[in-house]
Structure 1
Amino acid sequence: MQLELRHLEAVRRIAEAGSLGRAAARLGVSQPALSAQLRRIERVTGGELFVRSRYGVEPTPLGEYVLSAARRVLGEMDALTAGTRAAAPHPTLRLGCILLVLVDRLFGHLEEQLPGHEIDLGTEHSAASLTRMLGAGQYDAILYGELADHEVPLPEGVAARTLIAKEPACVRLSAAHPLARQEQIELADLAGETWTALTDDGDGGPEAMADACRRAGFTPTLRYRIDDRRVRWELIAAGRAISMCQPTSPPVEGTVLRPLVGDPLFGRIRLAWNRAAVSEHQAGRLYRAAGRAYLASIPDHTFYRAWWEARPELHPVLD
């Protein structure tokens, strides 16, 4: 194995975080995976780079040497990236998104806000994957969600701005479900249901859902974790599971989307960008494009339109 930039970044993050657990969270990986990666790096460098102490982990003399070189190399790569992008007249903007509902409407607004720019739009299933790829330079900016009080850790050199500060979570269930006839559903009435969620959103969703259900008096049964949203919708349409969803989720055949009484769970949408690749001016235009795409989806949902119009303090400032 040869050392790569991602290995140097891992060493730097461990040193800065002071513990493998915190470094793993910031990198968007599990602690066992980061520990295994560190062992592989140490085999290449020929010795231990960190020792455990009562305060966390501290670099060994060899670790200090590798860390110094890592910071120098990574700093030069950041400068190279920023310089080459600045020299390009219209660099390709690499935008990553979780499969948020606004993505379908985003292209036209991006073309309006960033004329002449080539847009490379990719979708991922996890906020953790998005932030990791943003930190590795695979994306220049990302759109992602967070649930309840969870904050997605962001890489260094990244700025962020909240696009939608609060949106209520809804529930998607089979159109044949007995509760589908109700305009609103009490979360407590969903006790005993089987839930499905993405494999790893990285947005705090499963934890926030479990907390909301416990406050409603029950522990949810989360049986299915599925990356493929089409498979999730088919599972729900068949009546085998239900799922939390955004209030602007598009219609899915065989299912219905219903708001929850009292809004027991909220999410938010954020934009983050690499300051070395995206200027403040470009970030502002990205923000406006995403905001307008989101607002364009609201009229399609009667119950959410009324909720949204009653809360002007939550509306993004797009002018």
Structure 2
Amino acid sequence: MNLELRHLRVVCAIAETGSVTKAASTLGLAQPALTAQLQRIERTLGGPLFERDRRGARPTALGELVLARARVLLPAMKGLQDEAARLAGAADAPRRYRFGGVNSPILGRLVHRLAAEQPQAQITMYASWSVDELAQLVVGGRLDFVLTGVCGDSNPSAEFGLSWREVSIDPVLVLLPETHPLADRDEVQLVDLRHEQWVAAPGDGCFGDCFAAACARAGFTPRKLYETDVRGCVDLVDAGEAVALCQATFRPPAGLVTRRLAGVPLRWRLMFGWHPDSPAARVAELVLRTAQAAYDDSLTPHPAYLAWLVANPEFGVRRSGAPGPVADANRVRTA
């Protein structure tokens, strides 16, 4: 039997878990199958790699040697595969756009604009609740761009080496039934919602530490927090079971309304990311501008919010010397 990378992964898994049984579970294999595979690996290498007893599996001297080499080879091979995937995509850029999104409010409009401007382009989308998963897919050459949100002035993790740029910044709104006692107000004090239960979709950057901190500043601790998909959030609010945080351009269904939180205690920044060494980096600025234009498109159904943006230019798309919400306000008024 020739030794392969998958065999080194088996050895590493056993060493990391300290047990053949646990390693089998981690690798998705049956324990007898993994034991038989380990025995074949040991015969190929000429001796036992682990001492096994009731306390688990511990590497022998030969096992330590193999592990030392595996811990160099496996990351090197992973890096080679990632680089090869990025290079393999070079011929497809900019004719191919692969987007990943976490609750992105503009992805549909962004795709619509790109498809109109480049009818021959291949555009695909992948949704995930985890920005780390999407970043890993970009690093591995399986996605080109990521759209995700972060709370306040925070930024996505720098762990994966992606370049990040801001598309827009918006206040976080609250979604209420139109029969709610506070629904007749233009703005709602966060403290006036202290007796409510809350719901949000996974991946919403403002529903974790930022939300708890904002409630603490308002002098209360939020009651029960539900977490479900967007449809589930809407259903819970519609049933009167909870109120929800939502993005400013969210269009509520009949029976529900969105209201600003007074003083803007929570802000949501839409971020656009890519890998600086990927072929997609050559068109990243162009796609970023298209994403900002897609955000402007999303304002059209929200004339009241657009008017608020005109009075609060620190929100929305913050361009240098370029038309912003005022131009869009004029467009909406004359539409």
Q: Classify the TM-score, shorter chain.
A: 0.7 to 0.9
Q: Which consecutive unaligned segments of at least 5 residues does structure 1 have?
A: 12-19, 21-35, 49-59
Q: CA RMSD in A?
A: 3.3
Aligned to 1:260: 261
Aligned mate of 2:221, from 207, 219, 239:
219
Percent identity over paired residues? 28
- For 2:228, give the aligned amino acid: I
Separation in 1 of the partners of 2:145 and 2:170? 22
1:282/1:114 CA distance change after superposition, 3 Å: farther
Separation of aligned partners in 2, 1:149 and 1:142: 18
Name the residue aligned to 2:107: 103
Secondary structure in 1 matching 2:111: helix
Residues 174 and 153 from structure 1, CA distance in 2 versus in 1: closer, same or farther, beyond 3 angstroms?
A: same
In structure 2, which of residues 170, 173, 177 is the aligned counterpart of residue 170 of structure 1? 173
Residue 157 of structure 2 is matched in structure 1 by 153
Q: What SS does the corresponding residue of 2:106 show, helix, strand or coil?
A: helix
Matches within 5 A, 1:9-158: 40=26, 63-88=67-92, 91-112=95-116, 114=118, 116-158=120-162
Q: CA deviation at 1:119?
A: 0.4
Please, what TM-score do these two structures have when normalized by structure 2? 0.72
Which residue of 1 is the match for residue 325 of structure 2? none
d(CA) in 2 for partners of 1:71 and 1:157? 16
The amino acid that maps onto 1:257 is: T
Amino acid at match of 2:162: V
Structure 1 residues 104 and 89, CA gap change in structure 2 (3 angstroms): closer
SS at match of 1:251: coil
Counterpart in the other structure of 1:29: none
Counterpart residue number, 1:51:
none
Q: Note the residue ranges of structure 2 that are not aligned, 5 or more in a row.
A: 17-21, 28-34, 42-48, 52-63, 323-335
Higher RCO, 1 vs 2 (CA within 8 Å, ≥6 residues apart): 1
Aligned runs of 1:189-200 on 2, under 5 Å?
Answer: 189-198=192-201, 200=202
How far apart are residue 241 of structure 1 and its match?
0.5
Residue of structure 2 in register with 1:187 after alignment:
190
The residue that corresponds to 2:59 in the other structure is none
Secondary structure, aligned partner of 2:188 = coil
Match for residue 53 of structure 1? none
Distance in 2 (CA, whole Å) between partners of 1:204 and 1:133 is: 24
Residues of 2 paired with 1:224 and 1:74: CA distance? 38
Residue of structure 1 equivalent to 2:207: 205
Deviations 1:194-251 (A, max 9, x none): 00122x3173532211111111111112332112x11210110111111111111112
The amino acid of 1:248's aligned partner reads: T
- How many residues get paired? 278
Q: What TM-score do the two structures reach when normalised by structure 1?
A: 0.75
User: 1:61 & 1:313 partners in 2: Cα distance?
Assistant: 58
Report matched runs for 1:224-303 at 5 Å. Answer: 224-227=226-229, 229-303=230-304
CA contact (8 A) 2:151 2:210 kept: yes
Letter in 1 for 2:193: L
Per-residue CA deviations over 1:114-166 (Å, capped at 9, x if unaligned) read: 553210022223334433433444322110000134433245342221212x3
Residue 175 of structure 2 aligns to a residue whose secondary structure is strand
The residue identity in structure 1 corresponding to 2:181 is P
Cα deviation, 1:247-299, whole Å, max 9, x if unaligned, reads: 11112222100001000111101111133444333111211121111111123
Kindly provide the CA deviation profile for residues 162-207 of structure 1, in whole angstroms up to 9, marking residues without a partner as x: 212x311110011111111111100000001000122x31735322
Closer, same or farther in 2 for the Cα pair 1:285/1:292, shift >3 Å?
A: same
Paired residue type of 1:298: L
